[in-house]
Structure 1
Amino acid sequence: MKQKKKWLSRLAICLGVLSLLGAAGSGMANIANADEQKISGNPVSDNTSVRSITIWKYEINSSTELGERGDGINTDPGKAPDLGGKKLMKDVNFEIIKIEAIGNASLIDPLKQVEGKDWEVNTSFAAIKGKTDKDGKLTFNVGTGKAADGIYLVREIKDSTSGDYTYTDENGETKKINKPMDPFFVHLPQTKRDDTGKLIYDVHVYPKNIITDTKLDKTIEGGKGYSIKAGNDFQWEATTKLPDGLYNKIDKEMTITNWLDPEDGLHKDLVIDPSRLPFELFANYFKVKDSLDERLLLKDVEVYVLDEKQENPIKLTNGTEYEVTLGGTKVIDPNKVEDLTEGSKKEVEVSLTDVGMKKVTLEKNPYLQVVYKVTTNKDFNGTISNKYDVNYLLPGQDPVTETSEESPEYYDGGFDIEKTDEGSKVLKGAEFHIATSKENADLKTYLASDGKSYKLNEDGSTTPELPKDVYFVTATSDEHGKAEFNGLALNWFTDTDGDGKQDPSNPAEKTWDKDKIEKKYWVVETKAPSGYELIKDPKEVTVTLGSADDTNIELTIVNKKKTDLPFTGGTGTMLIIIIAIGAITIGTAAIAIDKKRRAV
Structure 2
Amino acid sequence: MKVKKMGLLRRLTAVAAIASLSVLGLAGTAQADSNVGNIDTGKTGSIIVHKYDGAYGTDGGDGSVKTDTSNLGKPLDGAEFTVKQVTAKDGQTIDLKTPEGWDLISGLKASDVKGGGFSLGNGVSKTTANGGLATFGGLPLGLYLVEETKAPTNATSTTDPFLVTLPLAQSNGKWLYDVNVYPKNSVNNTEPTKEVSNPSAPVLGETVDWTITAPIPAANNGIKKFSIVDQLDPRLSFVSAKVAGFTAGTDYTIDEAGQKITINFTAAGIGKLETGQKVVATVTTKVTSQGDGTIENTALVNTNDSSVETPAVSTNWGSLQIIKHVAGDKARTLAGAEFDIFSDKDGQNKVASVKTAADGTVSITLWVGNNDVTEKKYWVKETKAPTGYILDESINEVTVKAGETAAAVKYEFANTQQGHPDLPLTGADGKLLAMIAGIGLMLIAGGAGIVAANRRKNQV
TM bin (shorter chain): 0.5 to 0.7
Q: Which residue of 1 aligns with 2:405?
A: 548
Q: Give 1:179-578 correspondences, 5 Å limit.
A: 190-192=167-169, 198-221=174-197, 229-230=202-203, 231-245=205-219, 283-293=223-233, 295-296=235-236, 298-304=238-244, 315-320=245-250, 322-327=251-256, 345=258, 347-361=260-274, 366-376=277-287, 382-393=293-304, 399-400=305-306, 402=307, 404-421=309-326, 422-423=328-329, 424-436=331-343, 439-440=345-346, 445-449=347-351, 473-484=352-363, 486-492=364-370, 511=372, 517-535=374-392, 537-546=394-403, 548-549=405-406, 554-566=410-422
Paired with 1:480 and 1:96, the residues of 2 have a C-alpha distance of: 73
Q: Note the C-alpha offset of 1:179.
A: 6.0
Give the superposition deviation at 1:547: 5.7
Counterpart of 2:53 in structure 1 is 59
Q: CA deviation at 1:118?
A: 2.9
Structure 1 residue 205 displacement after superposition: 2.2
Which whole-Å deviations, capped at 9, do the CAs of 1:394-453 have from their partners, x for residues lacking one?
A: xxxxx44x252422112232222222224422212212223446x53xxxx25413xxxx
Task: Number of aligned residue pairs: give it.
Answer: 375
Provide the alpha-carbon RMSD of the alignment.
5.0
Q: Shift of residue 43 of structure 1?
A: 0.7
Amino acid at match of 2:283: Y
**Relative to structure 1, is the Cα distance of residues 414 and 215 closer, same or farther in structure 2, using a 3 angstrom cutoff?**
same
1:45 aligned partner, one-letter code: D
Per-residue deviation, 1:324: 2.1
Percent of residue pairs bearing the same amino acid type: 23
Shift of 1:370: 0.8
Superposed displacement of residue 490, structure 1: 0.9
Rounded to whole Å, the distance in 2 between the matches of 1:139 and 1:528 is 80
Query: Does the 8 Å CA contact 2:53/2:185 hold for their aligned counterparts?
Result: yes
CA distance in 2, matches of 1:99, 1:358: 37
Instruction: For 1:289 and 1:565, locate their aligned partners in 2 and report how far apart those are by CA, in whole Å.
Output: 71
Q: Distance in 2 between matches of 1:327 and 1:369?
A: 19
Cα distance change of structure 1 residues 86 and 79 upon mapping to structure 2, 3 Å threshold: closer
CA distance in structure 2 between the partners assigned to 1:553 and 1:129 by the alignment: 57
Q: 1:93, 1:129 within 8 Å by CA — same for their partners in 2? A: yes
Alpha-carbon distance between aligned partners in 2 of 1:80 and 1:293, rounded to the nearest angstrom: 49
Secondary structure, aligned partner of 1:215:
coil
1:79 aligns with 2:67: yes
Q: 2:37 aligns with which of 37, 42, 46?
A: 42
The gaps in structure 2 that reach 5 residues or longer are: 1-28, 96-104, 429-460
Q: Do the aligned residues in 2 keep the contact of 1:326 with 1:346 (CA within 8 Å)? A: no
Q: Name the aligned partner's letter for residue 38 of structure 1.
A: A
Quote the Cα distance in structure 1 between the aligned partners of 2:404 and 2:126: 62
**Structure 1 residue 524 displacement after superposition:** 2.3
2 CA distance for matches of 1:128 and 1:234?
Answer: 47
The whole-number CA distance in structure 2 between the counterparts of 1:96 and 1:286 is: 27
- Long gaps (5+) in structure 1: 1-34, 122-126, 159-163, 167-174, 249-281, 305-314, 329-344, 394-398, 450-472, 494-510, 573-600
Cα distance change on mapping 1:46 and 1:208 into 2, 3 Å: same
Amino acid at match of 1:59: D
